[in-house]
Structure 1
Amino acid sequence: MKKLMLGAALAVMATAAQATDVMKMAVTTSFNNSGLADVLLPEIKKDLDLEVQLLVVGTGQAIKLGEQGDVDAILVHSRPAEEKYLAGGFGTHRTEIMYNDFVFIGPKEDPAGIKDDASAVEALKDIAGAEAAFVSRGDDSGTHKKELSLWKAADLDVAGFGRWYSAVGAGMGAALNTAAGMNAYILADRASWLNFGNKADLALLYAGDPVLFNQYAYLPVNPELHPHVQTALVDKLEKWLVSDRAKELINGYTINGETLFVFNANAE
């Protein structure tokens, strides 16, 4: 009798343990380094009984995971790459969730003199002209894609740069750590910088150019290509991400009084 009761109890426990739905989402390292995931995921689980398992990679790798059907959705921040992904039929649609901006971080003494520059392109020209140490993500992330587009706009080719330019092939946190160790300039997203603990002698030197706008978007994986995609859970999460509940949490997430993201959910 005791064995039967124990078996029944274990069965109930197993059923309860299986009750929470699980889906996989590829997200950028900048989103994860910001600390916002630690705020949102527990609330998603509480509100939806949904466990969202994150694969933390750069935007380029996140898109590859979506193309291969290794995740159910992606949350990334490079619109040209997102549009190419959708044009290829790998995603069903694109929903904007929130934004912040890219910023130039560098040595407090600012040897390249970018602090008072008129544009992001001018800042990069000054860094290159001074051959001041610069750390690049070098990982095909959204931040790396933005950096490369800015060098191109400045009519400068990173392939011809000298040893002052270091492409580390790493996530935002690791790249910031490298920049701190080298006392180098780096392009970062504002949220990762604010949440970064090892600032050393670095400071936020330049921001404000409209070209540094940084939009994050949610793209469900196309179930017609990958039938195993959990579309019902993906849709459930999307409705939550564009809700007033998400807006309150995203806009309310601050560090030292500074807002890291601004909610602007908009489905296309």
Structure 2
Amino acid sequence: MAAVGSSGAVGVAGCAVLGSEDTDGEPGIVGETLTLTTTTSTYDTGLLDELNASFEDRYSVTVDAVAQGTGAALETARNGDCDVVMLHARSLEDEFLEAGYGVNRRDLMFNDFVIVGEPDDPAEIAGEDTVETALTEIAATESTFVSRGDYSGTHAKELELWDKAGLAVESFGDWYIDGGDGMGAILNQTNMQGGYTLADRGTFLNMHGQTDLEICVEGPVEGGPESLMNPYGVVAVNPAVHENVNYDLAMAYIGYVTSSDGQEIIESYTSDGEQLFFAEALAAEPNFQQHVPDGWESSSDE
């Protein structure tokens, strides 16, 4: 696992795999299939279709994308049933890396979370500056709150926010609903039942006009609290743990989505004129520590 943060691993994703050829002089990845597990938000927004179609066309390969909550996506990866994972829960990503199941993590993009609710706003949280106050008011008024309840990145963030507000979901009454579904379905459920939910901005904007829900508490993209930031990463499944995974194709994919071409697709992807995600892989001053779990030290730091 020490190689996860090495400079050699960084170079692989950028170019080495993409230039590989078979004995006939053809690109070595042509005709192969990549299995990608990803969060429902990248799938529901349509961004994944744009990224994958471009990658498939360029390298004559197929991407089999399986949309799951982050917890389920990581379990699929732990079992060796996919080649690469795209997700948005850094603490869970770190556990995955530390256990040796993943290698060569890259920052990919970000958007933010927002608390959305019915227009009547029964807890009167519209325009609230702090997440803790908003959640405290929802709980105090016992206003309906629909949770993802699916061990996704959004669900993990929601539980973290309740905890920071000093509230234990185990003590909540019937007003707290375990939705157990993807983001699009939860937004529809909240729209039908009333109340509030935590959503990623991308999926909410992509469903604009399909629900009556409104943003009550903004995330940092629109000047809200940093605690609602929603970063995404992409991780290859470790071939040293699962020999069956297509590591070369996984690294080709990571190299593409973090390249200038892939980042341009992310940056320019919109819904009704609204940008849904913001590219984060390219920077004037690269953050090489992005590849390793929080708290780890590189050999140069020892």
TM-score (norm 1): 0.90
1:43 aligns with 2:57: no
1:223 aligns with 2:223: no
Aligned to 1:163: 174
Aligned to 1:151: 162
CA shift digits 1:12-70 (9 cap, x unpaired): xxxxxx95221101000111111101211111111122211111100000111111100
Aligned to 1:64: 75
One of 115, 127, 131 as aligned partner of 1:116: 127
Using the TM superposition, name which of 192-201 and 249-258 deviates more: 192-201
* Dislocated runs of 4+, deviation >6 Å: none
2 CA distance for matches of 1:117 and 1:19? 52
The change in CA–CA distance for 1:193 and 1:25 in structure 2 (over 3 A counts) is: same
CA shift digits 1:174-198 (9 cap, x unpaired): 1111001112200000011011156
AA aligned opposite 1:50? V
- Structure with the greater alpha carbon radius of gyration: 1
Aligned to 1:257: 273
Percent of matched pairs sharing the same residue: 38
Q: What are the within-5 Å matches in structure 2 for residues 97-112 of structure 1?
A: 97-112=108-123
1 CA distance for matches of 2:108 and 2:206? 20
2 CA distance for matches of 1:257 and 1:174? 23
Judging by fraction of residues, say which structure has more strand.
Answer: 1
2 CA distance for matches of 1:69 and 1:46? 26
Contact 1:92 1:219 in 2 (8 A): yes
Q: What are the within-5 Å matches in structure 2 for residues 236-251 of structure 1?
A: 236-251=252-267
2 CA distance for matches of 1:74 and 1:50? 17
1 CA distance for matches of 2:49 and 2:267? 15
CA shift digits 1:205-242 (9 cap, x unpaired): 11121011001100100100101111110111111011
2 CA distance for matches of 1:48 and 1:216? 24
Aligned to 2:194: 183
2 CA distance for matches of 1:241 and 1:201? 34
Aligned to 1:15: none
SS at match of 1:99: strand
SS at match of 2:243: coil
One of 132, 139, 142 as aligned partner of 2:153: 142
The change in CA–CA distance for 1:198 and 1:259 in structure 2 (over 3 A counts) is: closer
One of 70, 85, 103 as aligned partner of 1:74: 85
TM-score (norm 2): 0.80
CA shift digits 1:46-101 (9 cap, x unpaired): 11222111111000001111111000010010000000110000101310100000
AA aligned opposite 1:260? L
AA aligned opposite 1:218? V
2 CA distance for matches of 1:196 and 1:103? 14
The alignment of Structure 1 onto Structure 2 pairs a total of residues equal to 251
Which blocks of at least 5 consecutive residues in structure 2 are unaligned?
A: 1-28, 219-223, 282-286, 292-302
1:210 aligns with 2:210: no
The CA RMSD over aligned residues, in Å, is: 1.4
Q: CA deviation at 1:200?
A: 3.1
